[in-house]
Amino acid sequence: MIPRIHPTALVDAGARIAGDVDIGAYSIVGPDVTIGAGTRIGPHVVVTGSTTIGARNRIFQFASVGEIPQDRKYGGEPTATAIGDDNVIREFVTIHAGTAQDRGVTTIGNGNWFLAYTHVAHDCVVGDATTFSNNAQIAGHVTIGDYAVLGAYAGVHQFCRVGAHAMLAAGAIVSGYPAKPAGTNNEGLRRRGFSAADIATVRRAYKTLYREGLPLEQARTALAQAAKDAPLLAPLVAFLETSDRGIVR
């Protein structure tokens, strides 16, 4: 099969494009780009840098993927962007490559939705099945766990993490002004197949961490003990053990 490339698109001869890819009018694809099967790129999209895009992604008009990072430390080093399968990247989304000072690659998993005007900065790691609502922005070196939801205009400060299944309210700022926890995402957990018993376990863990007045180290110890009988708490325990910047609390 031959890719369907609009006559006005500029696709470098060095780009590796699967046979059933669509590339729309006036889009630009650079020489170090790989695009997987079934991906559709709309008009006026720019995909540049050392960028790998997997299968069945849909990238809408005016998105920019793989551009150099917005970081004063960046000095032209070879860095990369890696995007998995089945992602939706809407209008005016920007996803930037990594920096040599960190991972060197910005990584996005599978099945994510990036709504209009969202931004993924350099060296970020985004898991699977996340949703970035309109204008959600994450700074450099941020990690977003699977199934996380970022509300419209939510922001995440550099080097912070958002855990799996977390939800940030519209306009929320992680690590500032001040950020505060508001409860467990019960409806989101139900939609993802968690049982009533599982959700009750998560709520008890939340109470231990946020409502019992325990010092953080004591709360960590209590949750680690609880996880021995409730393995679904293991990701929370691991998150707390590897939190270099502390947690919203």
Active site members: 122-123, 140
How far is it, in rounded angstroms, from Cα 130 to Cα 89? Answer: 12
How far is it, in rounded angstroms, from Cα 113 to Cα 144? Answer: 13
Tokens found for residue 224: 């680690």
How far is it, in rounded angstroms, from Cα 135 to Cα 158? Answer: 17
How far is it, in rounded angstroms, from Cα 114 to Cα 120? Answer: 9
Q: CA 171, 168, 148, 138: dihedral to nearest 10 degrees? A: 40
Q: What is the DSSP letter of 68?
A: P
Tokens found for residue 26: 């006036």
Region for 39 from its dihedrals, namely left if φ exceeds 0, alpha if ψ lies in -120 to 50, beta otherwise: beta
